[in-house]
Amino acid sequence: MGAGHPLTLKWLGIDTYQEAVIYLHRDCEVCRSEGFEAQARVRVEAAGGQIVATLNVVDSDILAPCEAGLSVVAWRQLRVADGDTVRVSAEPPLDSLVALRGKIYGRRLDAAAMRAIVDDIAAGRYANIYLAAFVAACAGGRLDVDETVALTRAMVDAGQRLDWGRAPIADKHCVGGLPGNRTTPIVVAIATAAGLTMPKTSSRAITSPAGTADTMETMAPVELDLPAIRRVVEREGGCVVWGGAVGLSPADDMLIRVERPLGLDSEGQLVASVLSKKVAAGATHALIDIPVGPTAKVRSPQAAALLMTLLEHVAATLGLSTRIVLSDGAQPVGRGVGPALEARDVLAVLRREAGAPADLAERALMLSGALLEFCGAAAEGTGIATARGLLDSGRAWRKFLAIADAQGGFREPPRAAHVRMVDAPCAGRVGAIDNRLVSRIAKLAGAPRDAAAGLELFVKVGDRVDAGAPLYALHAESPGELDYAFDYLAAHPETVVVLPA
C-alpha cells in the first residue's frame, strides 16, 4: 500500500446503495492531521486496491479513533475483511469540476471537457452530489447535438468494448415509459432462434418498476462477467444479461445511480446511455422502440420525431445502423407491472399459453419481425410471419430455455406473499389507464426492490366491465407496503378510469 494513515477496518454493515463511503471517528489521526471534514473526498487504499470515497464523521463510540468503517459497496470494491488495514489520504481536487460548474451556468461542454468529466465519473471520483449536479445540468434539453455525441463517445471509450468478429450483431431497445412492455426476452428468443447473434445487455430499473435485467433475473442469472457472456453467446447465439456487471459503459451505470432517486432520464443522457451500451456491446444493428402516448415518457409525435432524429444522428456518427419504430404508448402492455409479474407474462407468451396477453405477444412479434428484416434474416414484408412461425412452433421457447440454462439455469418467477384485488366501482367502459400512476403504484408496492411486488391489470382501455368486476390486483411482500400502495391508489382513482354505462 502507498502513503497515508493506517487504520484498522471494522465491519459496520451500512448500505449506501452504490456510493463508496468511509466512516472515521472525529478524533482519529487522519481527521486531526489532514483537517478532513464530513463530505470530504478521500483516497482509501488496501491490499486489494484503492477507491475514492466520501467521508462521514462519527462522534459516537461505534468506532474507535484508530478504526475505520466502510459502506457495503466500498467493502466489496476493496475486497477487504474485518480487521484488515487501510490507508487514508487526501484526494487531489478534480479539474473536471471546473467544466461542470461552467455547464451549470449554461456554458457548452466541448469534447475534451466532456471526456474529462466522464473519465472521472467512470473512475469513481465523483461523489453522488457531483453526479446529481451533472445530471441536473444536462436535463431539460440542455445538451445540444454535439454535446450528446461527445457524451456518447466518452461513455463508450471509458469502458470495455466487445468485438464479435462478425456482422450483423443485433440489438433492441425501448426508450421506456410504458409499464409492462417487457418484449426484449421474447425478441431475443425469436431472433436467436432465427440464427441472428444478439448479445443483449440490459439495464435495471431507473425510474420504472422493472428493467429488463430485473425481469430476466427472476428467470435466470444476469450478473455474468465478460468471459461468461462470450461463452453463452457462442453457445446459443444470444443472452439477456445486466450490463452493469461488465463495465461496458461504467459512467452510465454511475449516472443511473442518481437518476433513479431523482426520477430523471433526460433526452440527451437517454440517447447517450442507450447508444453507448449498444456500441460497447459490439452491436452493428439496433432496433429502437419509442412508445408514444399522453402518459408515456414520449408524449407526442413531435417529441418522438425530435428524439428519433437525435438517435439516428448520434448512431450514424458512431457507425451504428439503427431502425426506429414508433409504437402505441397509450396504456400499459401485458398484465404485470413489476419484475416477476412481467416475467410471468413473458413466459406465457413464449409457452404459447391460452391466456397469454395478446398485446404483449403482438408487440413482440412486430418488433421481432422488424429486427429480422433489418438484419437480413427475413425478406422485407415477411418478418412478422417468420417471427410468428418461430414462436408458434415452440422454437423460440426452446431457445429461451437454452439461453437461460447457459446463463446459469432457468427458474420460475416468485409470487408475492400478499395480494389485494381492486374492483370496478360501477358498470361501464374503461376509458383510460394512466401509465405514470400505474408505475408509481407498482413501485410503492415494492417493485423492483421486491421482485414479486407490483400491479397486475385485468382490463384494457375500451373493455366493458360489470360493477364489482376485478380491475387490477396489488402484489407486495409486506402488509405495510400493500396498504401504502392501496391508500395511494384510493387517492388517485384516475389510475384506471371506468366511465359509467
Residues taking part in catalysis = 265
- Describe the crossing of helices 184-193 and 383-392 by its angle, rounded to 10 degrees: 90
Q: Rounded to the nearest 5°, which phi and psi values hold at 324?
A: -110, 135
316 and 310 Cβ atoms separated by less than 8 Å:
no
For cell 408509481, name the residue.
Answer: 440
What does the angle CA 477 – CA 207 – CA 14 come to, to the nearest 5 degrees?
60
Q: Which three cell numbers stand for residue 34?
A: 489532514
Q: What kind and span of H or E run contains 421?
A: strand 418-423
Q: What are the residues whose beta carbons fall under 8 Å from the beta carbon of 269, sequence distance 6 or more?
A: 135, 138, 139, 143, 151, 255, 259
The beta strand positions in 277-366, using DSSP E, are: 285-292, 321-328, 336-337
Q: What is residue 284's three-state secondary structure?
A: coil
Q: How far is CA 76 from the centre of its chain?
A: 21
Distance CA 191, CA 89 (A): 52
Distance of CA 133 to the CA centre of its chain: 20
**Cell numbers placing 221:** 442469472
